[in-house]
Amino acid sequence: MITPQPEKIFYLTRINPLNFEEYRKFRHIILLGTLNSNGKFSNYIKGILDEKQKKDIREGRYFYFIKHNEFSLEQTILILVANNVEELKENIVENKGFIFNQFNRALDTYVINSMFGRKENMELSNKLYKSYGWTFRMQPDYIIAKEVKEGKFLWLRRFDPDRMISIYWKDSNDGSELNEKWAFERRILVGKNYLNNMKMVEGYTKIEKINFLGRDAIKLEGLWEIEEKAIGGFFRSYTFFDMKTKKIYFIDLSVFAPGEVKEPYIRQLDIIAHTFSTSPIKPFKKILF
């Protein structure tokens, strides 16, 4: 991720199998093994497989197993196994997105539990629903920084560091006006009119069509700046049409955290965005791994 500094979500650390006891309680672990090897983890993996599973691996139908909470709570272990090393390499390359997503989803679950498991801001969530007919699951310390009812805009903020969620909405019969150009121009309009002349930094913005909570959506992300204040950071936005409320929604997430790693804050904001609902939100229940 470019935030504007390049940041990674995960860092891989290769360990000596003989030292596994020191690492076995880590939250994310990948174990590699092959059926034709007698190494420690190959033998460990073969010991937990039944004959049918081994047959499936030999015939190319299986190459991974997932275990949760094996050595510690909220732990994810991905076991990758093949007939030989070359086949294992091929499987990893061909399924790199799948492998990444196992840990990315596990990290999301851990962060969701830590964000809302102890305390959440139900008062603010309920207020948003009563006032506007939509809401988010909110953490404590978020405040309404700007409310423009006639402009159908709301700005939520949490400080130290500055995390911003803004939402703009527009009545629409069928959402037919929504396209990439409309979403891009909406980001310009919202930044100029409501977010202190916040602009997108040219050359860094990416745009793509995605699925957002079961709705066709347009995702924008890149860097923002306010030239007058010489500040900037990372942003991500989602624009989509909601059939139930007959509205187009534009949700923008922005972070200002100079000198800090920003990915954890971006993930928190993205999780909040994905709690968007046009129905009342019930108190959070911890998600089990």
Q: How far is CA 268 from CA 128, 138, 167, 174, in A?
A: 19, 10, 16, 31
Of 80, 115, 150, the domain-final residue: 115
Mean pLDDT over 103-118 rounds to 95
50 pLDDT higher than 90:
no
Written as one string, the DSSP assignment of 44-71 is HHHHH--HHHHHHHHTTS--EEEEESSS
Q: What percent of the chain has pLDDT over 90?
A: 81
Same domain, 102 and 149: no
Q: In the structure, what pLDDT confidence band is assigned to residue 43 with cuts at 50, 70 and 90?
A: confident
Q: In the structure, what pLDDT confidence band is assigned to residue 141 with cuts at 50, 70 and 90?
A: very high
Domain membership of residue 108 as a residue range: 17-115
Encoding tokens for residue 245?
A: 């409320």
Same domain, 45 and 82: yes
Same domain, 188 and 265: yes
CATH (domain of 154): 3.40.1000.10
Same domain, 40 and 155: no
pLDDT in tens, 220-276: 999 999 999 999 999 999 999 999 999 999 999 999 999 999 999 999 999 999 999
Tell me, what's the pLDDT at 45? 80
Same domain, 129 and 268: yes
Same domain, 264 and 124: yes
115 pLDDT higher than 80:
yes
- CB within 8 Å of 123: residues ≥ 6 apart: none
Same domain, 37 and 163: no
Of 83, 115, 147, the domain-final residue: 115
285 in a structural domain: no
- CB within 8 Å of 134: residues ≥ 6 apart: 128, 167, 169, 245, 249, 276, 277, 278
Q: What percent of the chain has pLDDT over 70?
A: 100
Amino acid (one-letter) located at 213: L
* Alpha-carbon torsion (94, 98, 102, 103), positive or negative: positive
CA 57 to chain centre: 32
Mean pLDDT over 61-84 rounds to 91
Tell me, what's the pLDDT at 271? 98
pLDDT in tens, 156-171: 999 999 999 999 999 9
41 pLDDT higher than 80:
no
267 in a structural domain: yes
89 pLDDT higher than 90:
yes
pLDDT in tens, 276-285: 999 999 999 9
Q: Looking at the 3D structure of the chain, how many domains does it have?
A: 2
* φ, ψ for residue 91, nearest 5 deg: -65, -40
Please tell me the distance from the alpha carbon of residue 17 to that of residue 156, in angstroms, as a whole number: 48
Please tell me the distance from the alpha carbon of residue 217 to that of residue 239, in angstroms, as a whole number: 5
Question: Are 33 and 44 in contact, with CB atoms under 8 Å apart?
Answer: yes
Cis peptide before 161 (omega within 30 of 0): yes
